[in-house]
Amino acid sequence: MEEAKEALFPGNFQTSDKTDLTSSSSPERYLTRSKPEPGRKGSQPTRSVCSAAMSSDSEMAVFGEAAPYLRKSEKERIEAQNRPFDAKTSVFVAEPKESFVKGTIQSKDAGKVTVKTEAGATLTVKEDQIFPMNPPKYDKIEDMAMMTHLHEPAVLYNLKERYAAWMIYTYSGLFCVTVNPYKWLPVYNPEVVAAYRGKKRQEAPPHIFSISDNAYQFMLTGCDNSTQGVAFARTNQSDFNESLGKFIRIHFGTTGKLASADIETYLLEKSRVTFQLKAERSYHIFYQITSNKKPELI
């Protein structure tokens, strides 16, 4: 098992030096070898997959030359959706050399399962050494939390297939898994930065830019509003007592996205500016200005 993991994740995850994309180095040199999956007839689970809402090839054009390194093409997704698959017999099986390989169940008897691998070998293993395979439409899935069957061989296989296509970023629930490509990929260009700016996580392919931009947006929405300095004052009940009412009007554009907003103030307690009860204070903004922390405001 450790050999297979080392083959999938050579070295560490640090950024490598730039190298020519036309280099003869191929991702397969770092991967365990396996033959292409043959077609199999059968039904597929009906669980939805996030790729159903993926961007079209024309929408991915905004990423420029980085597009094929970020998301599967429409053609590849359609082919995967239509590929025959037998969910009852298609499995991953534990194998001493490569940890896990694809295979087809031949028979079951007394807690033992006979599996024929894609390489033609026949293995007889315990039932707990086989793992159900996901339908082909889940191949190279962007968020592994969406898999029908989430287990070690499914995760390793998905990362391996994405890495073979130089798709080095993959989501796993709340986390973003990155596999070092050991070469420079065109996924950090200015146009890629611009394409991820302002997009929600589910609106774009996995990328460190998406993680950082979403963190920045959450930081903005989670911070204290600057109007608290003007509208809040200390009282006997609270250090942040709101002494006014606010009417917030939000404006949306024709596409449904937020366009602007404005705030109208009602019932402002003007008397607090000149008079406060014992142990109370005026509005925080006056103390902030007189503290001389920001002399440019005076």
The residue ranking higher by pLDDT, 13 or 286, is: 286
pLDDT digits (tens, 9 = 90+) for 41-62: 443 433 434 433 567 888 899 9
Amino acid, res. 135? P
Residue 227's pLDDT band (boundaries 50, 70, 90)?
Answer: low
Handedness of CA 182, 14, 70, 59 (dihedral sign): negative
Q: What is the dihedral of CA 54, 57, 58, 62, to 10 degrees?
A: 80
Domain boundaries, the chain: 2-34+60-69+141-217, 224-297
2-34+60-69+141-217: CATH topology: Kinesin (3.40.850)
Between CA 208 and CA 214 the distance in angstroms is 10
pLDDT for 68 = 94
Is the per-residue pLDDT at 63 higher than 90? yes
CB-neighbour burial class of residue 224 (10 A; exposed 0-12, middle 13-18, buried 19+): exposed
Q: What is the pLDDT of residue 47?
A: 40
Looking at the chain, the whole-number percentage of residues with pLDDT higher than 70 is 79
| Region 1-18 average pLDDT | 42
* pTM score of the predicted model: 0.62
Burial of residue 141 (CB within 10 Å: 0-12, 13-18, 19+) is buried
